[in-house]
Amino acid sequence: MKQKQTNIDISLLLILFSLFCISLLAVYSGSGQYETQDPFYFAKRQVIWYLVGFGIMAGTAYIDYELLERLALRLFVGAVFLLILVHFFGTYKNGSQRWISLGVLEIQPTEFMKIILILLLASVLNQYQHKRFSFTESIIPTGKIMVYTLIPFFFILIQPDLGSALVILSIAFTLMLVSGISGRMIMSLSLGFIALIAFLTFLHNYYFEIFSKIIKPHQLDRIYGWLSPHQHASTYGYQLTQSLLAIGSGQLTGSGFTHGVQVQGGKIPEAHTDFIFAVIGEEFGFFGAVTLICLYFLMIYRIIRIAMRSNSLFGVYISAGVAGLIIFQVFQNIGMTIGLMPVTGLALPFISYGGSALLTNMIALGLVFSVNIRSKHYMFGRGWD
């Protein structure tokens, strides 16, 4: 009797388990600077979040992802409603208003929006199937994508949460790249974005009063700290300066687990969350950092492979959106610890301590597993060719 093939990507599961192990080591070491009665406090909580995440990922994989296409717009409307609630009734802490308090639990609707936007944009693009658009024909689908993207982008930006707002843009950009939208249209949008940055720079240099109404003071401080960290080493360039010292001192092999001078000395704020890559760089060195980056490359490779083998175009777009989600978060988080990108509050996927971001990424992987499980492999091509 022939057994039924389940199409579970074991390689992707092994990569995720490897990231889980690295996360526990880095969270334990990075949280050592905080005075708690239990030195394993944060590590144990991370294990709990991972166990919950694995359960949610399995549940998401069990759901037929194609059923979500019909619910995408309703889910989007619900998520936008939650973002509006955050704006008026959200909990304010650490300079941002991003959470809705439910008593013992706080939810961050921004994280839900990342997943829902992938589903919605995938649904929109799936309506056109394999059509290749000219520049003129690209106007309507591009307009739809921009409307659905800019609505959550605006509400997330005013929280303020620049990092997550940029994630929203990266999801839309990734899905446009793999769709049939004209390359000229994508190039035009890219040039428009560059022109916007140039215009903001012009305002900063010549009309600062207007510029200050667009960019919040704390956001501008982060830009100054990014561009000239050593000039502002005692203020808004402090995190980046200490992070560079930590990663640089790690050299090839690192200073050893829990032996990082910068990390254990408490000189890197949020070492177990936003700046956890500095922990890995200092204590495990170049080899440890490269190992982590290679695991991310392998993860993205497996996701792209699943996308290419999917029988459903909707599944292709979902997988591509998840790949874009993970790629940007990895690039932004690592980039901000080495001075390549400005400092934002984005966590390093599957590594940083915390529940909201981890659960979001686990749901995203669950969607990819759902796509893979329901893909039938044919001898000659794919079922939708």
User: Whole-structure pTM over 0.95, yes or no?
Assistant: no
Are 118 and 322 in contact, with CB atoms under 8 Å apart?
Answer: yes
Confidence (pLDDT) at 4: 46
Are 125 and 164 in contact, with CB atoms under 8 Å apart?
Answer: no
CA atoms of 244 and 265, how far apart (whole Å): 15
* Alpha-carbon distance values, 331 to 147, 163, 349 (Å): 26, 11, 10
Count structural domains, the chain: 1
- 111: amino acid identity, one letter: E
| Residue 379 domain flag | no
| Residue 343 domain flag | yes
| Residue 195 domain flag | yes
Confidence (pLDDT) at 328: 96
Confidence (pLDDT) at 330: 96
Structural domain that includes position 79: 10-373
| Residue 260 domain flag | yes
Assign 99 to helix, strand or coil. strand
Residue with tokens 């707002």: 165
Confidence (pLDDT) at 36: 66
Confidence (pLDDT) at 3: 43
CA dihedral 166, 60, 181, 168 (to 10 degrees): -10
Blockwise average pLDDT, block size 10, the chain, 385 residues: 62 96 94 75 93 95 92 94 88 75 78 94 91 89 95 90 92 93 93 93 88 80 85 85 92 91 86 92 95 97 94 94 96 94 90 90 96 74 51
Are 7 and 310 in contact, with CB atoms under 8 Å apart?
Answer: no
Confidence (pLDDT) at 35: 66
| Residue 207 domain flag | yes
